[in-house]
């Protein structure tokens, strides 16, 4: 699955909500084709980007967080800043488009 740092229901509060920097959470699933398509894009961005971190959350293994944020489709990318979701994007997209959409709230 993803090469991004994983978070779980147990670590979500510490890793995402308490983070001093914005965190983009990739709500993903191993069976999801579009999730596999966006994985390399997110990996590239994670290696290049210093304004925010990117983590992945397996929706099947972490139902509490998935339900708490109303995630119904994968992949859902949700940017958290100061413990609050500030942007939510559903579906795979190219790197340039994803960065442009995130720039609006960074």
Which positions are catalytic?
32, 35
Torsion of CA 14, 18, 20, 25, to 10 degrees: 70
Nearest to 105 by CA among 76, 83, 75, 85: 85
Question: Tokens 């210093």 — which residue?
Answer: 50
| Cis amide linkage into residue 55, ω under 30° from 0 | no
């Amino acid at each position: 699955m993803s090469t991004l740092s994983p978070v779980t229901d147990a670590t979500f509060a510490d890793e995402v909500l308490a983070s001093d920097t914005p965190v983009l959470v990739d709500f993903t699933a191993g069976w999801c084709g579009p999730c596999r398509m966006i994985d390399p894009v997110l990996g590239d961005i994670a290696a290049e980007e210093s304004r925010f971190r990117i983590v992945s959350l397996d929706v099947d293994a972490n139902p509490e967080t998935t339900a708490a944020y109303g995630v119904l489709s994968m992949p859902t990318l949700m940017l958290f800043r100061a413990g609050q979701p500030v942007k939510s994007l559903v579906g795979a997209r190219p790197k340039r488009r994803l960065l442009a959409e995130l720039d609006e709230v960074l």
